[in-house]
Chain A
């Protein structure tokens, strides 16, 4: 294959992978926007949702039914988290809340593993290697459909945020907690809603990633890949999460191909996104679409 095509292929692969990163990052952004909590447990939630879904299907449930049941589980999780973790920690500094979600990560992972076992499970979404060609580029069907699913999800979320009553309440809370409270928006309900929506996003991410990697523990580690995405896009911006995901996906694949072609060094993609995010932050500390932080003395 021509070198140019190699890079083009890497770019396409990267962009498709990037869409899937942004899916995980989306869950972070939703929760961060509404409650100012950087939810480290999002990766664990992806794992939990994916494994619950697959295991229910293995028990013989129809996929749609299994999906609904999983959504119910995620809503229950959201309720529990609000009640047990968030409510007692109101008014604590963000770092404490962040730490609490790390603790939550352990609980979610441990609980999921004890209920469903730790063996990786396969999620059949058709032939994972079936692909169509554009020029000399291979585009895998499953990834292509995943990208479409993500686009649909983002549109649905945008509609939800902009057109519904709850969506408007969510945006109000994101703008200013106290002002939202004072006009009668119930903060605790909003948190449950947001965590539930993040749970649904986690389910989609779990299905998409599970179809690609198999439903296994490494899904929980996706949270780490979502962090540079968040940084590049800004913590509070949904379009930012998408653009950041694309940048990270494309960047890491291109860097990997470049480094292995030129210097014969592999594994660059494991750390390149973080380095990219770090250097990017030196220039623009609030990310691409983040809110500008203004400090007054």
Chain B
């Protein structure tokens, strides 16, 4: 009853092309953002902000990046964490080597560097697709990890190969509390999500989707295949690079190349599968699911028994995690975002069945 678009008329082309054409969506999002920016810092404690919400936001960004590539352009990639590592280490080197570099500019430049690397490893996509491409992107993952560990230059010759992020100061304001770091992350993620939302509903996004659905047909209607695929790789790596930079600078503070190993790539891949391929909202839902699930399982185990051994618990966690993935794929292969869509369609008609 509340969610109904009757009576909302579009009287101009601008309104027709709005990102969220339905007023309830607009207001809902606005309220959600307001809550995230004002309400959350008021109620959440240090632990929630620093250990759950910040990683959730960063993962959302990485998932968003991968979703642009895999969900929209249809190019399966297992090298996400590699590109995140490029972003993190590029930011570090930019900040350390050029002391007067503003941190936000460093983030953007690091994203561009990651985009360049992504472009390079995207080249095989011109010839191959599907699983073959997925394995080729593994090359990116392992090569980047090896380069970062083997050459001391990237870690500024740190003996243990760990980089420590310098304190973040923007326009004289130091981001040293969990709240301020959370707000900065939130701002960056929301901005980039907005850009992505616009990207996928414009010409670029449509050409990506055309390539995903059938590349030969896309070529026939005049989409330049190579340019489109490479652009997808570049944009996706840009997002992942920034996510990696945020991971190192706003979440952990110190990072080693091993923090961006293959498991991290898989984690992000699970997020977009669970959340929904080809959906911006899905990236966020998936990230929330994957970040919260282990915490939930932990707490559930404590509530149920309390005296379960730690290694048994982590094994059970593996089983439940794997089982949930299989379950989700069977019940709803299009992910949480699709469930949300179905719920909205039902709400529009409610309380009438048709």
Contacts and interface: CB of A to CB of B under 8 A. Distances in A.
Contacts of B322: 102-110
A278 interface: yes
24 contacts: A99-B329, A100-B325, A103-B326, A103-B329, A106-B318, A108-B322, A110-B315, A224-B138, A227-B135, A230-B135, A231-B132, A235-B132, A265-B150, A270-B142, A271-B146, A274-B135, A274-B136, A275-B143, A277-B139, A278-B139, A282-B123, A282-B124, A282-B127, A295-B216
A267 B146 contact: yes
A102 B325 contact: yes
A274 B330 CA distance: 31
Interface of B: 76, 123-124, 127-128, 130-132, 135-136, 138-139, 141-143, 145-146, 149-150, 216-217, 220, 262, 266, 269-270, 273, 311-312, 315-319, 321-326, 329-330, 333
B245 to A, nearest CB: 23
Interface in A106-146: 106-111, 113-114, 118
B149 A267 contact: yes
B325 to A, nearest CB: 3
B132 A104 contact: no
A158 to B, nearest CB: 25
Interface in A257-291: 265-268, 270-271, 274-275, 277-278, 281-282, 285, 287
Interface of A: 38, 84-85, 88-89, 92, 94-96, 98-100, 102-111, 113-114, 118, 224, 227-228, 230-231, 235, 265-268, 270-271, 274-275, 277-278, 281-282, 285, 287, 295, 297
Given A99-B329, A114-B319, A94 B142 contact: no
Nearest to A281: B128
Nearest to B76: A95
B62 to A, nearest CB: 17
Given A99-B273, A297-B217, A297-B220, A271 B316 contact: no
Given A265-B150, A271-B145, A118 B326 contact: no
Nearest to B331: A88
Contacts of B318: 106-107, 109-110, 113
A277 B141 CA distance: 14
Contact of B262 (A99, A224, A267, A297): A224
Contacts of B312: 114
Contacts of A277: 135-136, 139
**Closest 7 pairs (CB-CB, A-B):** A106-B322, A110-B318, A103-B325, A271-B142, A274-B139, A110-B319, A107-B322
A271 B143 CA distance: 6
A44 to B, nearest CB: 10
A231 B136 CA distance: 9
Given A89-B330, A107-B322, A277-B139, A268 B146 contact: yes
A261 to B, nearest CB: 16
A252 B123 CA distance: 23
Contacts of B220: 297
Contacts of A265: 150
B123 to A, nearest CB: 7
Nearest to B139: A274
B326 A275 contact: no
A231 B319 contact: no
Most buried by B among A89, A109, A113, A278: A278
Contacts of A287: 132
Given A268-B146, A297-B220, A103 B135 contact: no
Contact of A107 (B127, B216, B326, B333): B326
Contact of B333 (A92, A94, A297): A92
Given A110-B322, A266-B150, 16 more contacts: A89-B329, A99-B273, A100-B329, A103-B321, A103-B322, A114-B316, A224-B138, A268-B146, A271-B142, A274-B136, A274-B143, A277-B139, A281-B127, A282-B124, A282-B127, A285-B132
A25 B253 CA distance: 40
Contacts of A275: 139, 143
Given A89-B330, A102-B266, A274 B138 contact: yes
A107 to B, nearest CB: 4
Nearest to A44: B322
A105 B269 CA distance: 15
B126 to A, nearest CB: 8
Nearest to A263: B150
Given A111-B319, A277-B139, A278-B136, A85 B124 contact: no
A263 B216 CA distance: 44
